[in-house]
Amino acid sequence: MKTARLSIAGVALATIAALGACGSGDDTATTSTGTTVTGSSAAATSAAPVPAGALGELVAASQKTATTTAKIAMKSGGMTLGGVFDAPNELVEMDSDFGTAGGIKIRRVGNDLYFKASGGIASSYAGNGKKWLHVDASKQTGTLSVEQNDPGSTAKLLSTLASGVTGSGGTYKGTLDMSKAPTVASTIGSAAGEKFKAIPFTAEVENGYLTKVTMDMSGVAKGAGKSVTSYSAFGDPVAVTAPAAGETMEMPAADIKKMGG
């Protein structure tokens, strides 16, 4: 049962990663960092075309959220996640809690991703959670790649994944075909993808920012329920630093494969 709950939460996390902005995978995760960087080393993010109507309003708000600094909080079943991101400077720090299964810490600075698990999850990876696992995302494909850990991809994904979007004045609803999202597709596979083709969602926008996304995951797996992600503290400073060299090790090929790299 613990494995099943972890799997459900992991898929929800991958779904939020695809929409939300900050990278992560299945009951693995993705992302992390090397040292604090400044704007001079930031990678440019191309803006997504903005469609018309309600979808256009939602895409524009998502784009605004995904190109600034913000706090992120998520709850999906027994899994919770909290953290911060600074899109212009390519900084991410996330801390997820899978209850009795353990937790996952994630950091990103530029191309450097760091991952550290705790509890039962740690036994599945090298180092047993005693050290951060490092990978150079610029040399990876799949969920560990730079492209799939880019906050600026949110608006692009919404333009292609959302359909039947209605609403105005800050409240929207529609469905998401998450089987088309690279992060989710690499996590769930083509067979399970059928369940992800029309996930109902609602979204809230305030002052031009996407502030909340609620997805009804009950059609994906029994007990999955709703997955709620909130964004706040837009524009506040974000500081993310790399683990000390003595606290890190290179991620083995076997672990990279587990994470979809």
Q: Give the domain CATH number at 110.
A: 2.50.20.20
Q: Are 150 and 45 contacting, i.e. CB atoms less than 8 angstroms apart?
A: yes
Listed in sequence order, the DSSP H helices in the chain are 2-20, 53-65, 153-161, 182-192, 253-258
Radius of gyration of the chain (CA): 17
Structure tokens at 37: 């960087």
If one counts every other C-beta atom within 10 angstroms of the C-beta of residue 247, the result is: 12
pLDDT of residue 25: 32
Distance CA 9, CA 16 (A): 11
Distance CA 68, CA 237 (A): 10
- Give the number of domains in the chain: 1
Q: Are strands 69-76 and 79-86 parallel, antiparallel or unpaired?
A: antiparallel
CA distances from 183 to 85, 189, 244, 259 (A): 18, 10, 29, 10
β-partners of residue 104 are 96, 117
What is the per-residue pLDDT across 178-226, written as a single tens digit (0 to 9) for each? 888 766 666 665 556 677 888 899 999 999 999 998 988 888 777 778 8
Residue 3 has pLDDT above 80, yes or no: no
- Residue 4 pLDDT class (50, 70, 90 cuts): very low
Distance CA 184, CA 193 (A): 8
Q: Domain range for residue 182?
A: 2-258
Max CA pair span of the chain: 52
Of 65, 222, 223, whose CA–CA distance to 155 is shortest?
65
pTM of the predicted model as reported, rounded to 2 decimal places: 0.79
pLDDT of residue 132: 96
Structure tokens at 18: 């695809």
DSSP 8-state class, residue 22: S
Which whole number is the average pLDDT over 99-123?
A: 89
Q: Are 224 and 8 contacting, i.e. CB atoms less than 8 angstroms apart?
A: yes
Structure tokens at 151: 């906050």
Q: In this predicted model, which residue has the larger pLDDT, 21 or 215? A: 215
